[in-house]
Amino acid sequence: MGKFNFIKTSIEGVIIVEPTVYGDSRGYFMETYQREDFYAGGIKVDFVQDNQSMSAKGVLRGLHFQKKYSQSKLVRCIRGEVFDVAVDLRPGSPTFGKWEGVILSQENKRQFFIPKNFAHGFLVLSDEAEFVYKVDDYYHPNDEGGLMWNDKDIGIEWPVDEDFEIKLSEKDKIHPPFSEYKNN
């Protein structure tokens, strides 16, 4: 294996990235991004910004997207554990409306590449989580879109039981259903 293992998913363009981790008794070292390797692995994106957030257990951020100024994202969890989800919103895609999810954690060090025209969200499974991601376009506040996190038509299988408390922002509580997005 090279510095990265690029794992294709059930949705074209959505890729799980596993870095090579060099560790010993002192700790570890790994590269998290190297443009030539990523290009060779099928991720031909020029990132322009890095973002970081910290969230408590049960926080669900999403499902978010930019309407006109869509962003590709390379996401990872550097502390704690999250369940990360991408929903295909590409017009004409054979997987339109389908989702792919992956556990990202400080232990597995996996990254998740989400191409343009996808809704994205994550749920914090650990007591706290720090989440970082690269994007290939700047954030445009007036271009925000969102979908209901628990939309029945999308059918995301969040890894929680009925006793797990989901914490949403006021904005995320009022996102429209997928049917409304499809009809517009």
Q: In the chain, where are the structural domains located?
A: 47-182
pTM of the model: 0.95
175 carries an active-site annotation: no
Residue 133: per-residue pLDDT: 97
Residue 176 three-state SS: coil
Residue 184: per-residue pLDDT: 79
> Which residue of the set 120, 133, 175, 181 is catalytic?
133
Residue 7's pLDDT band (cuts 50, 70, 90) = very high
Q: How many CB atoms lie within 10 A of CB 125?
A: 20
User: Does the CA dihedral 106-107-109-114 come out positive or negative?
Assistant: negative
In this model, does residue 2 exceed pLDDT 90? no
> Which residue of the set 28, 33, 64, 175 is catalytic?
64
Residue 183's pLDDT band (cuts 50, 70, 90) = confident
For range 25-50, the mean pLDDT: 96
Residues 155-168 have pLDDT tens digits of 999 999 989 999 99
Residue identified by tokens 């499809």 is: 182
Mean pLDDT of the chain: 96
CA gap 119, 83 in Å, rounded: 14
The CATH number of 47-182 is which of 2.60.120.10, 3.40.50.300, 3.30.750.24, 1.10.287.1080? 2.60.120.10
For range 41-51, the mean pLDDT: 96
For range 75-90, the mean pLDDT: 98
CA gap 93, 77 in Å, rounded: 28
133 carries an active-site annotation: yes
Residue identified by tokens 């904005």 is: 171
CA gap 49, 60 in Å, rounded: 22
Residues 86-140 have pLDDT tens digits of 999 999 999 999 999 999 999 999 999 999 999 999 999 999 999 999 999 999 9
Is-contact 148 63, C-beta < 8 A? yes
Nearest CA among 123, 117, 169 for reference residue 143: 117
CA gap 173, 27 in Å, rounded: 41
